[in-house]
């Protein structure tokens, strides 16, 4: 599938392109679910210095509940621009931090000027913080001031709050768009159908299989299997 950017900022055009992206996501067959997806449920632990109950000890939860409180999935987009680039998605409850962000890690150059250096070179990253922070960070290596050639990681930060202190909340924006009849940020029926189709086989496989829960502590970064999911290709969670 060829990728093309929106021709305009008109809501219908934007939503058409969103549907194109969802259609290009490679579907995961039932026999591949364990390779591409990890689920979890938190047990007892400590969150922000406070002891926390496990999910099955929460009020109204069955003692043998198999409900997931964590999911990590590796996706691929089969289009011209993103072919063979892995997209890792991770979300969960009672994690170490409550933080929503997108990280884009750039590929290393095949022949780095500093390849013979004994220093460990950090990857260049673009980080888009959504919540609770609202900023954009570009992380890269730079020469440390001085006569010697020593590199260190640095950040360039655009802080949304510093730029505009009275930034409206996300739901305020949505309510205003609804009043104005701007549908750009709202899901269309074909978007919803494609989104469900992306995770359909994962859900079915998880419903049919018995999980070994709980498999991660409250206040941690999730089950060990989620780290193996990214480490297979030499990657790490940021």
Task: Give tens-digit pLDDT for 107-122.
Answer: 877 776 665 555 677 8
Q: What is the pLDDT of residue 100?
A: 94
DSSP letters spanning 223-238:
-HHHHHHHHTTT----
**Per-residue pLDDT reduced to its tens digit, 56-88:** 999 999 999 999 999 999 999 998 889 999 999
For the entire predicted model, the pTM comes to 0.86
For range 25-52, the mean pLDDT = 94
Identify any residues that bridge with 92 across adjacent strands, giving them in sequence order.
70
Per-residue pLDDT, 202 = 95
The answer to whether residues 156 and 137 touch, using CB atoms and an 8 Å cutoff, is: yes
- What ranges do the domains of the chain cover? 23-163+190-231
Q: What are the CA-CA distances from residue 157 to residues 75, 120, 126, 151, 228 (Å)?
A: 28, 23, 10, 19, 31
pLDDT in tens, 183-231: 999 999 999 999 999 999 999 999 888 888 999 999 999 999 999 999 9
* Cα torsion angle, 227, 158, 19, 84, sign: negative
Which residue in 40, 56, 22, 24 sits closest to 228, CA to CA? 40
Angle between helices 11-24 and 189-208 (to 10 degrees): 30
pLDDT of residue 118: 53
> What's the CATH number for 23-163+190-231?
3.30.360.10
Q: What does each C-alpha distance from 217 to 75, 143, 148 come to in angstroms? A: 26, 40, 45
Q: Which helix (H) or strand (E) holds 29?
A: none
**What's the confidence (pLDDT) of residue 116?**
54
Q: Are 41 and 213 in contact (CB under 8 A)?
A: yes
Band of the pLDDT at 176, cuts 50, 70, 90?
Answer: very high
Backbone angles phi, psi at 186, to 5 degrees: -100, 145
Question: With 80 as the cut, is the pLDDT of residue 166 above it?
Answer: no
Q: What is the pLDDT of residues 3-20, one digit of tens each?
A: 678 889 899 999 999 999
Kindly provide the b/e burial profile for residues 220-230, where b requires at least 16 CB atoms within 10 angstroms of the residue's own CB. Answer: bbbbeebbebb
Write down the mean pLDDT value for the chain.
Answer: 90
Catalogue the E-assigned strands of 27-113.
37-40, 42-43, 45-47, 50-52, 70-76, 86-92, 100-105
Q: Which two tokens stand for residue 179?
A: 């009043």
> Which pLDDT belongs to residue 141?
87
Reported as a pLDDT band with limits 50, 70 and 90, residue 170 is: confident
Task: Tell me the mean pLDDT in the region 118-140.
Answer: 87
Cα atoms in the 13 Å half-sphere on the side-chain side of 73:
17
């Amino acid at each position: 599938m060829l990728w093309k950017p929106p021709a305009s900022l008109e809501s219908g055009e934007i939503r058409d392109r969103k549907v194109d992206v969802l259609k290009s996501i490679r579907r995961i067959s039932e026999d591949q679910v364990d390779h591409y997806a990890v689920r979890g449920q938190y047990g007892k632990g400590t969150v922000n210095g406070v002891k926390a109950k496990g999910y099955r000890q929460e009020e109204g939860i069955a003692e043998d509940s198999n409900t997931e409180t964590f999911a990590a999935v590796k996706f691929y987009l089969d289009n011209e621009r993103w072919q063979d680039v892995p997209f890792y998605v991770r979300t969960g409850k009672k994690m170490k931090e409550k933080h929503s962000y997108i990280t884009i890690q750039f590929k290393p150059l095949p022949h780095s000027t500093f390849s013979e250096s004994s220093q460990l070179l950090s990857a260049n990253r673009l980080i888009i913080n959504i919540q609770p922070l609202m900023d954009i960070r570009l992380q890269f290596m730079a020469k440390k001031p001085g006569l010697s050639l020593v590199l260190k990681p640095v950040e360039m930060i655009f802080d949304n709050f510093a730029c505009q202190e009275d930034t409206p909340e996300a739901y305020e924006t949505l309510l205003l768009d609804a009043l104005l009849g701007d549908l750009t940020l709202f899901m269309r029926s074909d978007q919803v159908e494609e989104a469900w189709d992306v995770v359909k086989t994962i859900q079915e496989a998880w419903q049919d299989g018995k999980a070994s829960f709980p498999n991660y502590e409250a206040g941690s970064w999730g089950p060990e299997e989620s780290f193996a999911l990214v480490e297979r290709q030499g990657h790490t969670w940021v």
